[in-house]
Amino acid sequence: MDAIKTVDASTEEQLEHAFQEKIDAEVKIEPRDWMPAGYRKTLIRQMSQHAHSEVVGMLPEGNWLTRAPSLKRKAILMAKIQDEGGHGLYLYSATETLGISRDEMYDQLHSGKAKYSSIFNYPTLNWADIGAIGWLVDGAAITNQIALCRCSYGPYARAMVKVCKEESFHQRQGYEIMMVMAQGTDEQKAMAQDAINRWWWPALMMFGPHDADSNRTTQSMTWKIKRTSNDELRQRFVDATVPQAQYLGLEVPDDKLAWNEDKQSYDWGEIDWDEFRNVVAGNGLCNRERLQTRRDAHDGGKWVRDAALAYAEKQKKRAAERAA
């Protein structure tokens, strides 16, 4: 018995060694390849939470579908929300290749066991919020997702390539909304400023804790699930976005923000980490509402899924009868 165990352990070690060699040589890992249990677990957690974020991300925007100011804006917003649903699907499918079922992931979301991006627990109070979401929230998401296009897990990387292609329209339509508002009446400009005031910091929180406080970062970097650290991505986003805010004539709500000539990048203040932890813990303004809406949508759609299955079953039976 003991002898068998020793053999197993050394085989496991060899497999892990070969696995890491593949990763180091930039060979992608595909669904049926051997992988360490921890690699699989980390990916399932990260990818399913990414999928949940796409799906829950539809809710704050759905709030404005009927109230968008013109037919054009309604159509654009509808197309963007449809994209988010599609991104959820790409990610759920990619996660299923790791051996978890779709229903299991839904259960984890609906029971609160799995998290989704905390940004969606903030309310969308005025129309400029939809602009700020496209510009800042999708902008931050793209910064993160571009890095993930080089992830070591093939299905995740491929899903990210597709998502990034589609997201670029989201950010640009958001910025255009902000531009129209910033060039509008004083009242409209005030709405745009109010939106950036409320969305700036939560957008920066999307990159997660500081590298020093992120206990999963090192292993994820070794496995090349993650290619760039939280702080580096966040800095990239700040450097790209501040000039865009300046062009709009809007103020970034950070009095420590200043250009640093030496490092050719911006210095900026500190995130309110208490707020971050509090929203992650479920105490944000909309946590309960989002989850309940999501549960209701799933339960409310049950009769449709049942009917589709019953119809497919009936068609199959009829075809069998005709053949007999």
Give the interface with another protein as residue ranges (CB under 8 A).
30, 32-34, 82-83, 85-86, 89-90, 93-94, 96, 101-104, 107-108, 159, 162, 166, 302, 305-306, 308-309, 311-312, 315-316
Token pair belonging to 214: 């992120």
Measured from the CB atom, is 82 or 292 closer to another protein?
82
- Minimum Å gap between C-beta 133 and another protein is 20
- Minimum Å gap between C-beta 311 and another protein is 7
The residues, any chain, with a CB within 8 Å of residue 280's CB and separated by 6 or more, are 115, 118
CA distances from 313 to 78, 309, 310 (A): 33, 6, 5
- Minimum Å gap between C-beta 33 and another protein is 5
Measured from the CB atom, is 83 or 254 closer to another protein?
83
Measured from the CB atom, is 33 or 270 closer to another protein?
33
Distance between CA 100 and CA 93 in Å, rounded?
Answer: 10
- Minimum Å gap between C-beta 200 and another protein is 31
Distance between CA 135 and CA 295 in Å, rounded?
Answer: 28
Supply φ then ψ for residue 239, to 5 degrees: -60, -35
- Minimum Å gap between C-beta 228 and another protein is 25
Measured from the CB atom, is 114 or 204 closer to another protein?
114
Measured from the CB atom, is 35 or 141 closer to another protein?
35
Distance between CA 265 and CA 111 in Å, rounded?
Answer: 42
Write out the H or E segment, with its range, that includes residue 276: helix 273-278
